[in-house]
Amino acid sequence: MRSSFLRDIIWKRLRGNRLAMVGGAIVLAMFVLAAVAPLTGHDPGGIDITRALQAPSWQHPLGTDDLGRDVLTRILYGARISLLVGFVAVGIATAIGIILGALAGFYGRWVDATLMRFVDIMLCFPTFFLILAVIAFLEPSIWNIMIIIGLTGWMGVARLVRAEFLSLRERDFVQAARTLGATDRRIIFRHILPNALSPVLVSATLGVAGAILTESALSFLGIGVQPPTASWGNMLIVGKQTLGTAWWLSAFPGLAILITVLGYNLLGEGIRDALDPRLKE
């Protein structure tokens, strides 16, 4: 009953936040558009030089690129890549952050000191340049990008989870579980972790936006998702080369990145406000 009551309160707060609802609508729309990409009737990799660099029209609502490929179709297929990279990368980062943060916060002492010093070392490296350095030694592919972004983005989650565990491990319900003979694993995953996931949810939502931006930047630099696979980042490369004659090749992929990142940021901020216990009804 109590958990249902809390969910009702959180949903009421979230529903009352107009910007959060706008963000949620954008996120949902991106999923729908990515799902219906095949319905455009165009092949995202279909080359037709006779249709190269056509301006937006009824047949090609967002125009065509330098190889005659439909820009709208490629943007929709690119949404699939961006969403896949965002969720897989954030999933990897969240899993690592939760495990290390939980261990540091629950056991404390030398475990906490060792893990947190490792976090500090990782934070000393600029994340984007660290990703560039790693990718330079690997084959640029979507799977490598997702794994690398995930492996370099867990530090913030680890700190959040550690802070929550330090606060919760001395609570009465944890002491009661210890008295009843519960194992450390059960206490961590059954009793403490469910109560420590609120900031993680917010961080993960905002992290998807960051992962999408990182993938787009890597693809724009030519070391991310490789052609002919459609990606918003590698679409911008073509747009940069034809900026003076075909503005739509830069405008529409850039707008897709802007709207998607904005949607996740608005939704993440709304979730954070809804989960904040200091807010009053």
Residue 222, helix vs strand vs coil: coil
pLDDT tens profile 204-255:
999 999 999 999 988 888 888 888 888 998 888 888 878 778 888 989 999 9
This prediction's pTM: 0.87
Residue 253, helix vs strand vs coil: helix
Whether 85 contacts 142, CB under 8 Å: yes
pLDDT at 277: 54
User: Per-residue confidence at 84, pLDDT binned at 50, 70, 90?
Assistant: very high
Question: Residue 74 and residue 271: Cα distance in Å, rounded?
Answer: 31
Q: What is the mean pLDDT of residues 34-52?
A: 87
pLDDT at 25: 93
Model confidence at 1: pLDDT above 50:
no
- Owner of token pair 């906490």: 112
pLDDT at 27: 93
pLDDT at 99: 93
> Worst-scoring range by mean pLDDT, 5-19, 51-65, 129-143, 251-265?
5-19
Question: Residue 268 and residue 265: Cα distance in Å, rounded?
Answer: 5
User: Per-residue confidence at 275, pLDDT binned at 50, 70, 90?
Assistant: confident
Q: 46 - beta bridge partners?
A: none
Q: Round the CA-based radius of gyration of the chain to a whole number and report it.
A: 22
Q: What is the mean pLDDT of residues 58-82?
A: 91
Helix%, strand%, coil% for the chain, nearest 5: 75, 0, 25
User: Per-residue confidence at 90, pLDDT binned at 50, 70, 90?
Assistant: very high
User: Per-residue confidence at 5, pLDDT binned at 50, 70, 90?
Assistant: very low
Helices 155-168 and 109-124: crossing angle in degrees, nearest 10, is: 150
Question: Residue 227 and residue 211: Cα distance in Å, rounded?
Answer: 20
Q: What is the mean pLDDT of residues 121-125?
A: 86
User: Per-residue confidence at 119, pLDDT binned at 50, 70, 90?
Assistant: very high
Q: Is CATH 1.10.3720.10 the classification given to domain 2-275?
A: yes
Q: Which residues of 62-92 are buried (b: 16+ CB within 10 A; e: fewer)?
A: bbbbbbbbbbbbbbbbbbbbbbebbbbbbbb
